[in-house]
Amino acid sequence: MRVLITGARGQLGTDLMRHCTAAGDDVLAFDRAGLDIESRSAVLSAVTTLAPEVVVNCASWTAVDACEGDPQRAHSANGLAVRWLAEACARTDAHLVQISTDYVFDGTLHGAYSEWDATHPRSVYGWSKLAGEREAAVLGTNAAVVRTSWVSGEHGNNMVKTIMRLANERTQLQFVDDQVGHPTFTADLAAVLRRIALDRLSGVVHATNQGVVSWYEFAMEVVSAMGKDTAMVQPIATAELQPQRPAHRPANSVLDNAVLRAAGYAPLRDFREPLREVVQNLLS
C-alpha cells in the first residue's frame, strides 16, 4: 500500500509511520515543514504527484486552550486544511483517513457515544475538528473519519509523560475525577488505522482502547506502573481547578466502537496493557 501520512512527527504520526513501514508499505511521511496542509497548492501538488492510495491525516492543531484564543487558526488547521486534502484525494481516487476527536461531543450523554449520536462541540477546538469531519465527508465512501480520545504514546507530549514528570517532582498530585473517557495509545491506534486504510472503511468510526476511567483513575494507573504509591494522587472536581482553563472539556468522552465491532474488528486492548508498556519503555 502506498500511504501518505501528514503530521508524521507527532505522537500518532510517528507510530503510524513506523507501523506501516514495518508492514512493508510504501510510506510517504511529511511533517509541517515538508507539507503544509493549510496550503491548497502544496497539498494538490504533493498528492497528485506522489499518487498515494491512502492519505492519513494525523496533522492537527491540538492545543485546546490556545484554539479558544485563535479560532481562525484553529479552523484553518483543523477544518479548511481537510478540504484541500479531500479535493486532492478526489482527483487521484485516494482514500482519506481523517483523525478526529471526542471534543465534537458536549460530554453530557449518559453512556458511551456511538458514531450516530448528535455532535455538539463546546469549544473552538471541537468545532474546528467537526469542520474537518464535514470536509472529509464530501468524499463519501472515499473517506473514513476516525474519532479517538485521550491519546498518549512514547512520542510527543501527552498526559502519560506529564503525569510521570509530576510524580517525580511532587509528593502530591491532583487530577479531576468528574471527566471520564477511554485512554488510547498510539501504537494500538496505528494498527487499526492501517487496517481501516487497507479495507477502505468509510464513514464515521470510533477507535479507542478499552477501559473507562476518570483522569484521576488514569493518573493512579500511571503512578502505579511507575512503581510509586498511588496515594500521592488525589481527586479534585473540574470546578475546583485553579486557574480555570479557557476551553470546555467534555465530562463524558467515552466512545463506543460500534462500527468497528459491526465490521468484525477485534476490540483494541484494555488501555492498562499499552500503558504499562509505554511507562516501562519511558523509564528504561
Residues acting as catalytic residues = 125
> What is the C-alpha separation between 87 and 150, in angstroms, rounded?
29
Q: What is the largest CA-CA distance in the chain?
A: 56
Q: Confirm if 86 and 42 have CB atoms less than 8 A apart.
A: no
Q: How far apart are the first and last CA of the chain?
A: 34
Contact 126, 229 (CB under 8 A): no
Residue 101 near residue 147 (C-beta atoms within 8 A): yes
Task: Kindly state the helix (H) or strand (E) to which residue 160 belongs, with its residue range.
Answer: helix 159-169
The residue assigned the cell 501520512 is 5
Q: Is 16 helix (H, G, I), strand (E, B) or coil?
A: helix
Report the alpha-carbon distance of residue 176 to residue 163 in Å, rounded: 13
- Cβ atoms of 17 and 5 within 8 Å: the answer is yes
Helical axes 186-199 vs 11-22, angle rounded to 10°: 60
